[in-house]
Amino acid sequence: MLLFLTVSRLLKFQHKSVRLNSECSLRNASRCNTSELVELLLKSAAEHLTAYRLLVVREVGSVATIVTTDFEALYAYKCGDYQQCLQLSTQNVHTLLNAHRMPNVLTLPEFIQLMDDDIVSLTALTLIVNPKCRDKFVNCINCCINQLTLSLYLMSQCQLKLQYSVTSLAQTLHYIKVAQSRFHSYRTLDQLTLKLTQCRFKVQWNT
């Protein structure tokens, strides 16, 4: 809950006068370009969430496999830094692929600010498929995306944008198939995301 409140406050930024880096403070918000403010807020949110991941690793890292750069990778992708995102996501996939316990990323409105349009659309589709998620959104596992799924999605998207070879894509596709076999059918958002990624690879090979 503390994490959610932190991100929410960062994104809303009302009634705050905290300086974001050294570039712009909320006291001077009227002088700053709105897009620059949004970018700084997203960067600050990603940094706070990464700090939270490090805290979780210290607390429960002995019983679960947790990567700490998933939000950093999301931010890099959001900024169009596909090489950095690919490097982070690839490392995360290799760490998580054979793990037994992995955390989820909740697709709450605060986190959706970091997501791309496809993940947002799939989240909305999940809510349509399973209306119960609307009532108990936070506790509904169907509306969570696993760290492995998210890392595979980002990894594959970056490979496509950077026009990686068919050989590299084939290896990633193998990882996707492994992940699909690990997630139960009730993991709606995970299954939809992996299926979308798989379909995009097939489209790439046919073009």
**Can you give the pLDDT at residue 73?**
94
For the chain, the average pLDDT equals 78
Instruction: Look up residue 184 and give its DSSP letter.
Output: -
User: 32 is written with which tokens?
Assistant: 């700053």
> Under DSSP, is residue 144 helix (H, G, I), strand (E, B) or coil?
strand
Distance between CA atoms of residues 103 and 35, nearest Å: 31
**Can you give the pLDDT at residue 49?**
87
Residues 161 and 110 sit within 8 Å (Cβ to Cβ): no
Per-domain boundaries in the chain: 2-206
**Can you give the pLDDT at residue 149?**
94
Rounded to an integer, the average pLDDT of 36-42 is: 79
pLDDT at residue 139 tops 70: no
**Can you give the pLDDT at residue 28?**
54
Q: Which residue has the higher pLDDT, 121 or 204?
A: 121
**Can you give the pLDDT at residue 146?**
92
pLDDT at residue 30 tops 70: no
Distance between CA atoms of residues 3 and 1, nearest Å: 5
The CA-CA-CA angle for residues 112, 117, 122, to 5°, reads 80
Q: What are 76-134's pLDDT values in tens digits?
A: 999 999 999 999 999 999 999 988 888 888 776 667 777 888 888 887 777 776 666 65
Q: What are 142-166's pLDDT values in tens digits?
A: 568 899 999 999 999 999 999 888 8
3-state secondary structure the chain: CHHHHHHHHHHHCCCCCCEECCCEEHHHHHHCCHHHHHHHHHHHHHHHHHHHHHHHHHHHCCCCCCCCCHHHHHHHHHCCCHHHHHHHHHHHHHHHCCCCCCCEEECCHHHHCCCCHHHHHHHHHHHHHCHHHHCCCCCCHHHEEEHHHHHHHHHHHHHHHCCCCHHHHHHHHHHHHHHHHHCCCCCHHHHHHHHHHHHHHHHHHHC
